[in-house]
Amino acid sequence: MLRASVTHHGSDIQPDRIVGGADECGVEHAKEIFALTDAVVLRDTTEYPDARIRAELRIGRDATDRLVMVAANFQQMNRMMDAIGGPVASGLDPLAAEMGLAVPDHLAEARR
């Protein structure tokens, strides 16, 4: 869906830059988004205040709050899928490779 939504806006995503946290990954204001997502998910009390202010200045208060909420939701989703052993479809292998990653064997064992 990330790629589909980026393509919808006439751009292209560079998945390897998600891993690297690069500013220019094809999504607008990625630098501020990465910084605040990292601070919130890692509960980084040192980085959080600055990341929060920079995000608010760049994308506004409501979008910043929504960003936080989305990261929070994926704290739930990640635990859900890792804990129940939901397999990663083989169709996602190319995307993982673009990100410089490989799907672990334990998530590939029962592929559809």
Partner 1 sequence: MSDDGVMTTPLIAEFDSLSARHADEFARAGVWWTGEEKLAIVAVARAAMAGLDAPDTTLSVTAVEAARKVAADAASIRRADVERWAADGVRVEAYVELVGVIGRLAAIDTAAFGLGLDPTPMPAAVAGAPLEATVPDIDVVDGWVPTDGPAFPPTAYTAVPGATELWIDVSDVLYMPMREMGDPAYVRDDLTRAQIELVAARTSYLNDCFY
Binding of residue 97 to partner 1 (CB under 8 A): no
CA-CA distance, 82 to 44, in Å (whole number)? 23
Q: From residue 73, how far is each of 31, 43, 67, 79 by CA, in Å?
A: 21, 15, 10, 10
Task: Please identify which residue in 22, 54, 88, 98 interacts with partner 1, judged by CB under 8 A.
Answer: 88
Binding of residue 72 to partner 1 (CB under 8 A): yes
By CB under 8 A, the residues from 12 to 71 that bind partner 1 are 13, 18-19, 21, 25-30, 33-34, 36-43, 48, 52, 59-63, 65-71
Task: Please identify which residue in 23, 50, 73, 94 interacts with partner 1, judged by CB under 8 A.
Answer: 73
